[in-house]
Amino acid sequence: MRIVRTVADLRAALAGARAGRIGFVPTMGALHEGHLSLLRAARAENETIVLSIFVNPTQFDEAADLTAYPRTEDRDVELAASAGVDVVFAPDASEMYPAGFATTVSVSGRIAETLEGAHRGRAHFDGVATVVVKLLLAVLPDTAYFGAKDAQQVVVVRRAVADLGIAAKIAVRPTSRDDDGLARSSRNARLSPDERRRAAAIPRALGAIRDAAAAGETDAAALRARGLDVLAGAGIDPEYLAVVDPDTLEPMQVVDRRALVAVAARAGPTRLIDNVEIDPETGR
């Protein structure tokens, strides 16, 4: 396994791999089982696997959140090696945003302005889109792998990739969860035992909505109420709990087709996001 720090060295490392398929997993490090599940999927489908580790400063709306984000590169590299990664790309900020950098990839419209965009600010998804596009152009993978937990990020990335004509397939893998149902995230390590217990209400709320939809409830307001009741029981007041179209993120009043239920909430100071898709046609 090779570790490279510059785009030039990355391209040199991949020069001999272009004849086969290249899979790419972009991360901000602090690897957990969710990341490893993406790497396993990439390993099964490609000849060469690239993992990026870069804590992207432009997508953080709170300076304290950026400062607190865990940096565990040595451990991440060990996990990457055990997962069969061929190349780790671990640039610093000056490599990704050199002096004079003046270009931003900005996806317009509701998909970047609602939910996370509304609560974290427009600059959040500008930062996400810009860094992902830069990484994709550096790696030039056949397939890039993302987790379903970051559903809105996937919608934004897919739009940017389609609009800019980037020849990479965006593959989405199911959300990886701990035994209590909590979606795996590097932020989970910040939770105290009591906060962890309360945070487990987030996947329970999504499960209650999914179960109600499977039982035939189609009114989005009624479905939201089921989830809000579960969250309230744990003392959690969400920033949002929304039932939206999974492709456009437009609010849905009646769930008569596939829908995305997305939630953001804090357990103590730690902000968590999660989601679930429901589909009346399949009963799931």
Catalytic center residues: 35
* Residue 186 is assigned to a ligand binding site: yes
According to DSSP, residue 97 is labeled S
* Residue 136 is assigned to a ligand binding site: no
Length of the chain: 284
* Residue 59 is assigned to a ligand binding site: yes
Tell me the C-alpha distance between 30 and 15, whole Å. Answer: 28
Distance between alpha carbon 58 and the CA centroid of its chain, in Å?
16
* Residue 150 is assigned to a ligand binding site: yes
Distances (CA, A) of 225 to 116, 220, 273: 21, 9, 18
* Residue 96 is assigned to a ligand binding site: no
* Residue 169 is assigned to a ligand binding site: no
Tell me the C-alpha distance between 249 and 111, whole Å. Answer: 6
* Residue 28 is assigned to a ligand binding site: yes
* Residue 31 is assigned to a ligand binding site: yes
* Residue 184 is assigned to a ligand binding site: yes
Tell me the C-alpha distance between 277 and 213, whole Å. Answer: 11
* Residue 185 is assigned to a ligand binding site: yes
Contact 141, 165 (CB under 8 A): no
**Lookup result for tokens 């050199």:** 98
Half-sphere exposure of 132 toward its Cβ, with a 13 Å CA cutoff?
30
In Å, the largest CA–CA distance within the chain is 57
- Bridge-based pairing state of the strands 240-244 and 22-27: unpaired
According to DSSP, residue 280 is labeled T
Q: Which residues are annotated as a binding site for (R)-pantoate?
A: 59, 153
Q: Which residues are annotated as a binding site for ATP?
A: 28-35, 147-150, 184-187
Q: Which residues are annotated as a binding site for beta-alanine?
A: 59
